[in-house]
Amino acid sequence: MLFPDWLTAGILGVIEGATEFLPVSSTGHLIVAADYLGYTGDGAKVFEIFIQLGAILAVMWFYRHKLITVAAGLPRERSAQKFTLNLIIAFIPAAVIGLLTHHYIKEYLFSPMFVAIALIIGGLIILLVEKFAPKPRVLSVDDMSPLDALKVGFAQCFALIPGTSRSGSTIMGGMLFGLSRTTATEFSFFLAIPTMLAATLFDLIKHWHHLRPEDLHMMAIGFVMAFITGLIFVQAFLHFISKHTFKGFAYYRIVFGVLVLWYFWA
């Protein structure tokens, strides 16, 4: 490794927490960072899967009051039941398609070059959405209909393509379907909880035999750093998009994608 293993784990944890909920592709950033740091192989794959749990916990902690209110109100409150139903509906498309295509995606699409191209194309799509998205008609996640949730769920399926960005797919899809910028972002965060939990646990079970006892301290460090950084960036991101567009992220994706192409081509 280029750095001590504890520092490598901390750096990758910060990158995971900082990029997981932004429309910039955490996968692309982790591929480049892990390669540069010399942390590759089966153990590294398990590490990158595990630290996603830290990022998931961060968004759950940030929205803990909403989640507790919904859970407590499920037996009797219509709003809590509707919110939960919308999450289930939005979760299903990616879950089904992901299970059917998981092997193919891991086998053929998880390459730096493909990720770089997806980063660039995703940046161009963000610019198009910012230009042509309709006027928002849904201003709160509680006002979303099941059809709105289903549409966002199908948009999330594009995130199965490495480098696309799960948050980018759901947020841009939500905006195209009439959700306000903030509503699309918040629903993307809520939808991340079941989606990322399912995907992460599925991958961990599949690759658990690659875990070594000597890697546990790295996983603990990465997990904690992903949680802390994720918590900071979720709050900062919501504040940012309340006053700005996503164009800056689009330009960043395009530049970063070109740099990834250059880095691995060289």
Residue 227 tokens read as 């949680």
| C-alpha 26 chain-centroid distance | 7
Structure confidence at residue 2 (pLDDT): 63
Q: Give the pair of three-digit tokens for residue 53.
A: 């749990």
pLDDT tens for 142-198 read 999 999 999 999 999 999 998 899 999 999 999 999 999 999 999 999 999 999 999
| Start-to-end C-alpha separation, the chain | 20
Tally of domains within the chain = 1
Which among 5-9, 29-33, 125-129 has the top mean pLDDT? 125-129
Residue range(s) defining the domain that contains residue 134: 5-265
For residue 138, give the 3-state DSSP assignment. strand
Full-model pTM:
0.92
Q: What Cα–Cα distance (Å) separates residue 19 from each residue in 66, 90, 180, 222?
A: 23, 22, 22, 14
pLDDT digits (tens, 9 = 90+) for 210-233: 777 777 889 999 999 999 999 999
CA distances from 124 to 25, 34, 96, 139, 170 (A): 14, 26, 28, 25, 16
